[in-house]
Amino acid sequence: MTWARARTHKYNARRVVVDGHRFDSAAEARRYGELRLLERAGKISGLRLQPRFELQPSFVAFQDGKRRRAIVYVGDFAYEENNTPVVEDVKGVVTPEFRLKQKMFLYRFPGIKLRVIGGAE
């Protein structure tokens, strides 16, 4: 008899389901609970999960004629706080890919505050 090993996340995060929403980590699920409380208390409004932002549109490269996919950043949460749009990302580990997308996001969307929870900024 062989046993199938459960797939684990490369950073040992465990997926969690809360209120029918699937989160990539327990930290992300905890933050969702905190944001729900803040929304009920009227401190934030318009809480959304997994907001998508196009950082660079798709294009056809002149050199080889191949189509390149758009570069997209998907945050964990988005909401308004004091009439300011905020996007949050819960991080256990800040990767080089995230740092690059963070820079692109800050350049492309200067009116939106990007808040990183956990990890090293």
SS3 39: helix
**Domain covering 16-117, topology:** Trna Endonuclease; Chain: A, domain 1 (3.40.1350)
SS3 45: strand
Task: Give φ, ψ of 45 to 5 degrees.
Answer: -145, 160
Angle in degrees, CA 94, 56, 120, rounded to 5 = 10
pLDDT tens digits along 43-100: 999 999 999 999 999 999 999 999 999 999 999 999 999 999 999 999 988 999 999 9
Instruction: State if pTM tops 0.75.
Output: yes
CA 33 remoteness from chain centre: 16
* Residue 52 parent element (H or E): strand 52-56
